[in-house]
A and B are shown apart, each in its own frame.
Chain A
Amino acid sequence: MSGIGEPVLTWYSKQARPFLEQWSPERLPGLDEEIQRLEKLEKAWVRKFQVCFLGNSGVGKSTLINALVDDRMPVLPQGGVGPLTALATRVRHAPTPYFKVTYHTGQKLNRILFILERQILLENGRLDASGQSAPPSDIPLDDEERTEALSVVSDPADPAADSLVTAVEAYKRVASLLIGGAQFDVHSRDLAYLTTGLRRILGLPPKENVAFDPSEEKRIASLRSALDRAKKGEVVRVGLDHDQGLFFQQLRDHAAGFLAPLIKTIEVGWAAEVLRAGPQLVDLPGLGVANDEYRQVTQKEIREAKAVVLVVDRSGVTEASADLLRSTGFLNSLLHETGNDQAEPVLLVVAVVKLDLTADDEKKQARLLGQGQSKRWLDHFDDVCLRAESMIQGQLRDELQKLLETGSQANREDKEAMVGRILSSLRIVPVSALEHVRFHVDDEDDRARISAPDQSRIPAFRELLADAARSRNERIEASLSGSARSLVSRIKNGVEVVQAQWEETSRAEEEAERLREELDGFLAPKRKLMLATKAQYREFLRETMKEKIRAAVLEATDDARKDISRYLDRLRNYHWSTLRAAVRKGGYYDGARLVNLPGEFTLRFEEPLAIVWSKKILAPLRKRTAELGEDYSLAVEEVAVWAQGQGARVNAKLVEALSAEVREQTKQFSSVGKELVDELREKVRLELAEAIEDRVRKRCQKFVEDKLAEGTGVFSRMLNFFATDLTEVVVDAAAKVATRVLERNYGEVEAEIQDLLKKHPDPLEEAAAQIVERHEAVVRKSDRKARQRVLEEATRVLSAVPETGEVS
């Protein structure tokens, strides 16, 4: 797969570079830089192709992945009861099965133990909510961690504590899972028991006198050894040798069992054909289960994903799943792709599962209506699949359309184009994982209703994933070989120019003088024109772009403000105590419903800013710069034409090499800021998030300090506070940050341009200088021996030019 850039790098460092270093050192800085770029690109090659499976808990993500990966064997734990997958599990290709895990260190458990022990104190009335009277604790946590952990512990006497209690409940569940092997087993193990167990796992002295169930010792021992391995930074790899039962039991313990809370990463290798071309399937924690604490994991994975499979059932894409795509920033990734042909495209697939059940129902109902007696199950299934496809298409269009409700007209068009692109690249695959497995297992008691493997549509889905991986590989390959090709031809041009210069027979001094005078005469008007062109371009960089940035930020801010007020409107449907918990916690509260004011605000800026950056700033800048490059090329072309008219006085080969070189160089002009596109996204996100979080927290604090978060009318007071005070502060801060980030980013692009211009200060002079060399150089080249050597070396370098594929 790899190795396209590598021969180029070797050829350059071993042959071309030493040659140029001696005979044309001025070319090296530019070429060295390009080589570094190629190396970077080569590294990006190995970046994994991650396909994330996202969907409501219980919808059947793991079941679907299992059917894709293996016809019979459920590789991942599936189909159990309760929220199963508690972490992101990665499945990748391997010739022999294995799974590999890394564990969290004890820090995570220390925190949980600390919180639960504080809760015990609190419930026993030995601690007030502020933690002031807290007795010292032997749990190794630093001050900051303690303070943070204390904010979770709640005072039952506090009327707003509802929501906080659920947070403690969540930690209790984690402890239950660790110690008892089940999350929801609330009543058999109380806090004292759980904390005693946690202390045993962490190797801390017991505090309470609790009789510990010996049957739990085995789990405790496993957990202790896991913590031990984490401390040593070990990766645990379990291979499948003989005992399949043991392998799957261990996998289940890790992926969905008592070890799950300690898992940092987990990866399963399986010899699946669908994974051969490189896709890694990531099974994300299910969403939508009350009080689930795994949202963060999902968000992180989705942000890095290049493909998302949204798994839905017959209800289709509900608001929750659409919201998820948005709040994880995935829709933003799709958005960035528009108007930016450099970024890697992102793939969205909607898999509709469990339609076999719907087909069952339809068949029964058709019989009731006395119609379609002859219609077979498969016909019903195909029919249901067809309807599901058109429904999903419609639902997604509607959900995306909602994103467009506000915004200026100009951006609206861009966004509409985006919706069109997303929909046209969207793939909808209705499948029946159940029938697929039934067909292959071929159990007499549980007959499949399909009669050929294709009918489950799982094979088609596999093909889709493999295709996506293949076309991604091809795309990277094409981009890599494109860069390699252009770099090779630049280097080649450089060598050829040197070669041509040395080939020239030395001419008489007075003839050279005459040639120079004539060329000067020819160039004089062109020089003036070139000066004016460059002055205009500088003006454009200095003034026009600055103005554009200011206008763009204004526009984006306006969009964001409208969008924020729509979001705030939705908060009306939340329970007042949820909102108050959020205000008290500085704008973020993940309880019954997620309230993430800073996050939501940030998202709403990120999107319009990305659009204005690519559409309003980068696009015109590139266009204008490409025009300058065009002017450069044309000017040199004219010189070349002139030179060709000079007959034997000028070396035709030299002129040709020259103008090829200029053409190749100015190609870069149209792709300035290439690397900065992806970087900007991260920068905007981080800086905006930081500024907004800070402002929201401070304002919320003040709101609470002013005693506005209590008493009657708190709900409308909060909504009013969100809509006026908070929005103003946030919009103001965000606009400043946005201007700063965009200006800085622009500054970087400008520097990149200046650098390019410095490398080619004046194409006319360059061309002239090459044609009519200075006298000394002519004299130097008249050294017959030296000339012989240069020409031989040049021939050797050129004969070793690496293969970089056909020129498009």
Chain B
Amino acid sequence: MGNRDGGGSGFAGRLRGWLKRMAAGKTGVPDVTPPPGPAAPAAVCPRPPRSARTAAALEPPNVVVLLGRAGVGKSTLLNALVEDGLGPLPQGGVGPLTALTIRVRFAERPHLRVRYRPLNHLVDLAGQLDSENPDTAAVQTARHLFAGSPYGSTTLAGLRSELSLLLASREPRSGTESPLEVDGVPEVVRAVRAGRMTRHIHLDGNRAAFQREVWAHTAGRISPLVSEIEVGWNSPFLGEGLWLVDAPGTGVANDRYVEASRVQLRTARSALLVVDRSGLDDASAALMRESGFMQRLLAGPLSGDHARLAIAISNLDQPVSDLVRSQPDPSRRWSDHFREIQSAAIRVVRGQLASEIGGLAPGKPETVSTTLQAAKIIPVLALEHQRLHETDPDDPARVSGPEDSNIPALRRHLRIMATGGEATGLRPPGQHHRSTSAGSE
């Protein structure tokens, strides 16, 4: 909400001062860390373009934080929510892909806004690699940077020399600044050295080129250099200030990720927990408790600091297929079986949630039951939703209509939840399903 205090915020001023010092070659302590959390939109872009300072942007955004176990499919779901076809975020992939907190918001013209980490971050990394027993997280970051994956076999010595080469690299001899390219780690480092800490990329007709940039920054080689990232997408669902924040998956061996998610949850008003068929997982439950989110959830709508929760159950495709196989019945369709599994899944997750929050509010059954009823639980088929709109003959959808995947229902519910229960005044999102593919602009 920094940009609401007027143009020249203290933060931006500090940043500019530091950028000047950087440009002058003085590497002071870059105390430009923005106040954490979604409450600091200005941090992404210290000087937002004029178009952003519209009335809509001045409204406090309605943020929904997505959290869940790594690999459960948060990014896939987020993609399905904002786009009927293939959404802007990388989905699937091998390894815990999303290491960053990614914000997705509405933009007429899709964009990628990135804020890079200061150069000192790399200097610190070099220092850590040089120590006798380098921290695993540091080694993984370096591997991600140079080998494209945090898990590889690049030797420590190799990483050290790559990093010192990178730190020593100067402007290219030609003198002209090469355009930023995928895997352009040296280019990013040069830009940062020159004080260009942020980057705005707009979708310019070429969806493939845009996606390459998005994926390189969110999950690819450049991602270790990124401190904050925002994707703007022309999705009616995101209209009127609904922001989706994709937090790093829980249960991954990296405390930095957990801390990032905790920070998000501490201030979040709404969260969408993504679980699979086994339901509520340990790590996510702990995260919600330790960030105080659960407590705010229990506080009730009368408290000023009240939080709201929805739960999406993903990856039910396989249980459905199993059911189809074990009870062959030609009269029943795939979606019939899905409906049957849905109610079972909702019961399970509700029961788990009940015992989780029951533990936090002993002796207050009314509070527990109110909270339980307020928490919407929706089984979704994000991949089926995509299949339905992709219409690939080799890979047909098993659901017959758009509502069958429950993605539209989840969209409706998230809008209601994010705006604090005021559904009035919203365009019924169902009308916007034939959303334009941004690439066709």
Contact = CB atoms under 8 A, between A and B. Distances in A.
Interface in B252-310: 252-255, 258, 276-283, 285-286, 289-290
A332 interface: no
A79 to B, nearest CB: 4
Most A C-beta atoms less than 10 A away, residue of B276, B278, B356: B278
Interface residues of B, number: 81
A592 B322 CA distance: 31
A292 B341 CA distance: 22
Interface of B: 69-71, 76, 86, 90-96, 133, 136, 139-140, 143, 149-153, 207-208, 211-212, 249, 251-255, 258, 276-283, 285-286, 289-290, 315-316, 318-319, 321-326, 334, 341, 344-345, 347-352, 354-356, 358-360, 362-363, 369, 383, 386, 390, 392, 394-395, 398
Given A315-B71, A446-B324, 5 more contacts: A74-B322, A82-B279, A184-B352, A185-B351, A318-B251
6 contacts: A81-B279, A81-B341, A184-B347, A184-B355, A318-B96, A361-B92
Given A369-B208, A592-B289, A186 B354 contact: yes
Nearest to A433: B318
Contacts of B316: 81
A592 B71 contact: no
A796 to B, nearest CB: 64
Interface stretch (A389-397, A758-766, A779-787): A389-397
B152 to A, nearest CB: 5
A369 B211 contact: yes
Given A184-B352, A368-B211, A289 B281 contact: yes
Given A81-B319, A394-B153, A437-B325, A314 B92 contact: yes
> What 5 A-B pairs are tightest by C-beta distance, nearest first?
A184-B351, A361-B92, A58-B278, A394-B151, A319-B253
B151 A370 contact: no
B395 A361 contact: no
A173 B71 contact: no
B221 to A, nearest CB: 15
Interface string A344-380: 0000000000010110111111001111000001000
Contact of A318 (B70, B341, B362): B70
Nearest to B152: A394
Interface stretch (A37-45, A156-164, A707-715, A719-727): A156-164
Contact of A364 (B140, B149, B280, B386): B386
B32 to A, nearest CB: 27
Interface residues of A, number: 86
A745 interface: no
A377 B395 CA distance: 10
A33 B151 CA distance: 52
B152 A390 contact: yes
Interface string A580-610: 0000000000001100000000000000000
Contacts of B150: 394
Contact of A390 (B71, B151, B349, B398): B151
A289 B279 contact: yes
Interface string A317-334: 011101000000000000
Contact of A290 (B253, B285, B325, B394): B285
B345 A443 contact: no
A316 interface: yes
A24 interface: no
A365 B90 contact: yes
B79 to A, nearest CB: 10
B178 to A, nearest CB: 21
A58 B276 contact: yes
A314 B351 contact: no
A594 to B, nearest CB: 9
B431 to A, nearest CB: 25
Contact of A74 (B326, B390, B395): B326
Nearest to B281: A288
Contacts of A319: 251-254
B355 A364 contact: no
A61 to B, nearest CB: 11
Given A290-B285, A364-B386, A370-B208, A314 B95 contact: yes
Given A58-B277, A315-B249, A79 B283 contact: no
A791 to B, nearest CB: 68
A83 B279 contact: yes
A162 B347 contact: no
A316 B252 CA distance: 9
A166 B153 contact: no
A162 B362 contact: yes
Given A74-B326, A166-B355, A183-B351, A154 B92 contact: no
A322 B253 contact: yes
A185 B70 CA distance: 27
A80 interface: yes
A399 B253 contact: yes
Contact of A288 (B282, B324, B354): B282
Given A165-B362, A434-B321, A402 B136 contact: yes
A570 to B, nearest CB: 9
Contact of A592 (B86, B133, B286, B386): B286
A362 B90 CA distance: 9
A290 B286 CA distance: 8
Contacts of B358: 165-166, 169, 186
Given A80-B277, A361-B76, A314 B139 contact: no
